[in-house]
A and B are shown apart, each in its own frame.
Chain A
């Protein structure tokens, strides 16, 4: 889908960074919706491009979705935007229909909650060797977060029920990061959240997910690189 001919007035450009799970949320949603777009890799470890700085002056972060030149920032806002701006796109909407406001509220809640996997996981690998207590806290947090997500998923195929929906798209990009978190935090997703582990395997079979996510080894290499950059032992 990336690189297909687009009409200027509907042109979609995604400013992104290859390993960004937040960017991957958008890539997966765009693929699920069959929306053509231009992928624009941003050099985040070097100097940020003028386009990125102009498009997201507040945070200077990816992902940014440009639609006919207008920027939409923040991955979850982009997901909602894709549903709302392209109601005729392929596949079911990411959010449950307006006929079920409670289901929509639940989806928004858990999609936002999924960010905590990344927050807690990042604390795990950012901690220096001597910070044992902080590490235990971060480990306890990620275990709790994964447990809550496991409970919310329950026996459903996806968080969206039969639909691969908002929460699924929001959470799945963190899956390749989990093996690294497991190692740094000394816990097991299979033990902590077995239904979530099975869900992750199911999601990996979807084309949009398989094409958008990188293998855990690549993610782990990136974490190692970042640790060097931040000077963390």
Chain B
């Protein structure tokens, strides 16, 4: 082991190359790209065709077969939030994504899980539905955004520029890489999701986040995202209008999954969506 203070990873290992398998439209991939940039870590990027995944990806992520996967020192790391925490652990001398305090870390983890378990699928449901089903999905998104707005206004993140404080942290990366879909979906579906009047603090945070250099370097141009979203929306709606307008918002992600290839759906709504976490009071 190294004799330096921060010997979490011996210098030889920390200096070993990083390779990221990702997909250009995947917000989960963007999380890792952004985190690497924020930490000033060089990496090789390999674009995956999610409709025809490479042998290497499948070897690296046999359990989920998804992007992103980060390969470092011969080891493969899947799952974006796991990867982000790994970056903190393996490069402790770089700017940390997680706060130092245990309670603050728990809070950040809680809201990251909320982003992936609740907000993300709700946004995906808006995109995959029309009519009554979509209205219900929009209400769900608004409820979720209201919870985050409340935390920014009176709760854990009161008075902060970013969720991480003066600088972006884990939750900014997780929420931010994905929130750009809100504006894209608004444009494509004609539905209002982030009303600056209803969610002023969230709106302000998102603008501040999107203005950062590292974020501008990571998020694809909005034209590409719009084209992509229009294509998927068209496919979703034309492939099965009946299923796409299912009355219950909970059906929409499942409908979307049936209608789209797994690869397209992966990009949109992420690993947790469509699995239908059981209703109940246990977590």
- Please report A residues at the B interface, Cβ cutoff 8 Å: 17, 20-23, 44, 48, 58-63, 67, 70, 72-78, 80-81, 84-85, 98-99, 101-102, 104-105, 108-109, 112-113, 118-119, 122-123, 126, 148, 226
Contacts and interface: CB of A to CB of B under 8 A. Distances in A.
Interface string B6-20: 011100000000000
Contact of B89 (A23, A74, A101): A101
A102 B283 contact: no
Nearest to B277: A119
Nearest to B63: A148
Nearest to A63: B283
A117 B214 CA distance: 38
Contacts of A98: 8, 89, 92
Interface of B: 1, 7-9, 63, 73, 75, 77-79, 82-83, 85-86, 89-90, 92, 102-103, 105-106, 109-110, 113-114, 147, 275-278, 280-283
Contact of A119 (B86, B89, B278): B278
Contact of A61 (B7, B90, B114, B283): B283
23 contacts: A22-B282, A59-B283, A61-B283, A62-B282, A63-B283, A73-B110, A74-B283, A81-B102, A81-B103, A81-B105, A98-B8, A98-B89, A101-B86, A101-B89, A102-B73, A105-B82, A105-B85, A108-B79, A109-B77, A109-B82, A113-B63, A119-B278, A126-B278
B113 A123 contact: no
B282 A20 contact: yes
Contacts of A122: 278, 280
Nearest to A48: B281
Contacts of A101: 8-9, 86, 89-90
Nearest to B92: A98
A60 B147 CA distance: 13
> Can you list the 8 inter-chain pairs with the closest CB atoms, starting with the nearest?
A101-B89, A84-B102, A122-B278, A85-B102, A101-B90, A44-B281, A105-B86, A61-B283
Contact of B106 (A20, A78, A108, A109): A78
Contacts of B114: 58
Contact of B281 (A60, A75, A123, A148): A60
